[in-house]
Amino acid sequence: MPRPLSKALRRAALYFAVLVIVSPALLFFLWMLSLSLKPEVDNISYPPVLIPTTLAWSNYAQVFAENSFGRYFINSLIVTGSATLIGLVIGAPAAYGIARAKATKLSVVVMIARMTPGLSYLIPLFLMFRWLGLMGTLWPQIITHLVITLPIVIWVLISYFEALPIELEEAGRIDGANRWQVFRHVVLPLTRPGITVALLLSFIFSWNNFVFGIVLAGRTTRTLPVAVYNSLTFEQVSWGPLSAAALVVVIPVLVLTVVAQKQIVAGLTSGAVKGG
């Protein structure tokens, strides 16, 4: 009898700890949702109106009508999608080579690019892209976002490649496949959970990036985080449309995370177990 009780107490303590950890983020999200659904008179009233009495969907309509958020949404999809796919195409073979060569020091060097503050090399990149005539396009942001996506792909996939039995690859070589065919038809299918995790994490971090866009984006090439920042004005802050704009940025990543949470957890857990 004491053992089931102890197990129940541990589970209750775990749920309580998780609730304490996520409650600030959940509170801020609900607060932002409330602001986006209230008329502006309720947002600036005192005492504050916490629960909307009438739903002001016009805040969302105003965001897309006045701030070209449709274009910025497409820009974010192009930049994030391209950087994620290019990072996978380059990062997967790189991670495989590092894992098979057991060059762990090289993986640390790759991660330095992710650890270095983006502002430290944004000015040289800005000058380089202007010299190449790429400013005013989405290419500067796609290329710089590889600093985010490429290290994530490499670090996530290294543990999967290291845990993959070398005998499977040797069997493919015996059957007549070259190294590239073994990598494509044997290694990649077996590391699909890791690839899924790498894609999702790369997409999330790239989608939320603000620093690169604020320096390299033009008026027509802004991404959503930069568009939300530029919607602020010195004269007056409209909290309803501003919160609606922030939710437009958050909701795609939130939906993607909720839909793919099982794949994320399974992939990370599998990589941790295999890597151990």
Angle 216-130-208 from CA coordinates, rounded to 5°: 15
Residue 256 lies in a domain: no
**275: in domain:** no
Whether residue 178 is contained in a domain is answered as yes
How many CB atoms sit inside 10 A of residue 95's CB? 27
Sign of the four-CA dihedral 22, 24, 25, 29: positive
- Digit-coded pLDDT (tens) for 14-26: 888 888 888 887 8
Q: Is residue 89 part of a domain?
A: yes
Residue 37 falls within a domain, yes or no?
no
In contact, 240 and 59? CB cutoff 8 Å: yes
Which stretches of the chain are DSSP H helices? 2-36, 40-43, 58-66, 69-101, 104-115, 119-132, 139-163, 166-174, 179-182, 188-190, 192-207, 211-216, 224-230, 239-259, 261-275
Determine the Cα–Cα distance for residues 122 and 216; give it in Å rounded to an integer. Answer: 8
Confirm if 216 and 125 have CB atoms less than 8 A apart. yes
CATH of the domain at 143: 1.10.3720.10
Q: Per-residue pLDDT for 1 more than 50?
A: no
Q: Region 249-255: what's the mean pLDDT?
A: 83
For the chain, what is the domain count?
Answer: 1
86 in a structural domain: yes
Give the integer Cα–Cα distance in Å for 224 and 222.
7
- The confidence score (pLDDT) of residue 270 equals 58
Predicted pLDDT at 56: 77
Task: Map tokens 């330095």 to a residue.
Answer: 112
Task: With a cut of 80, say whether residue 248 has pLDDT above it.
Answer: yes
How much is the pTM? 0.80
Question: Picking from 86-90, 165-169, 179-183, 264-268, which range would have the lowest pLDDT averaged per residue?
Answer: 264-268
Distance CA 210, CA 224 (A): 9
What size, in residues, is the chain?
276
Q: Cα 124 to the chain's mean position, in Å?
A: 25
What is the structure's pLDDT at 274? Answer: 46
Q: Is residue 52 part of a domain?
A: no
Residue type, 161: F
Contacting residues for 128 by C-beta, under 8 A, at least 6 apart: none
Domain containing 105 equals 68-234
pLDDT at 3: 56
DSSP assignments along 18-36, one per residue: HHHHHHHHHHHHHHHHHHH
Q: Does 119 map to a domain? A: yes
Class of residue 83 by CB neighbours under 10 A (exposed 0-12, middle 13-18, buried 19+): buried
Q: How far apart are CA 276 and CA 272, in angstroms?
A: 6
Which amino acid does the sequence have at 55?
L
What tens digit of pLDDT does each residue of 148-202 get?
A: 899 889 988 888 888 888 887 778 777 777 888 888 888 888 888 888 888 888 9
